[in-house]
Amino acid sequence: MAGWRVLSVVGNPKPQSRTRQVAEAVAERVVRGLPAGTAAGDASTAEVIEVSELGAGLLGWGDPAVKAATTAMAAADVLIVATPTYKATYTGLLKLLLDQIGAGELGGVPTIPVQVAAAPQHALAVEVHLRPVLVEIGASLPTSGLFVLDSTLDTLGQTLDQWSTPNLDAVIALATARAGRVRA
């Protein structure tokens, strides 16, 4: 059995952003929660797609790098889609990528929507704006999204603990059921 593929898609125009930091921390939690492989070399992998690196290929259709990104998203065992909050919603950059994915194409990939914001007034953006577009393209979202305030990044571990307690088990259960694997 191959290892688990946990993929973070980061929709921040700035590479190596705080949004990526949050996405990678979520991915680490997911990887720790997934059952271990059964053979040598079956380690889980956590990879990141920085949407900003796809560049002008996002502006048209058929770009090979964009296609590789959307294919990787559909092939993930768990998908994390993370974005900063711009104008009370997700970034236009992320929207350009998501528009490249047809309705239902993700085929039920367990997905965690993550939104990072400077103001608490945007706390519902992850549920009101990001969740619907992910559902449209076929993501399965068994939990509430994760909303993180920029000002709390120094206590990100506590924020993730609070979110993980009621949510992470549902993501892991869906991923294991979807893959036909038994939880350890």
Q: Can you give the C-alpha Rg of the chain in angstroms? A: 15
| Mean of pLDDT values over 57-78 | 98
Q: Residue 183: its pLDDT value, please? A: 47
Domain boundaries, the chain: 5-179
| Mean of pLDDT values over 128-139 | 98
Torsion, Cα 8 13 14 20, to 10 degrees, reads -20
Q: Residue 181: its pLDDT value, please? A: 60
What is the CATH number that goes with domain 5-179? Answer: 3.40.50.360
What are the backbone angles phi and psi of residue 74, rounded to the nearest 5°?
Answer: -70, -25
| Mean of pLDDT values over 54-78 | 97
- Predicted TM-score (pTM) of this structure: 0.94
Question: Higher pLDDT residue, 45 or 106?
Answer: 106
| Mean of pLDDT values over 138-158 | 97
| Mean of pLDDT values over 44-54 | 95
Nearest to 81 by CA among 30, 125, 20: 20
Sheet with 111-117, strands from edge to edge, namely 45-50, 5-10, 78-84, 111-117, 146-149
Strand partners, 50: 10
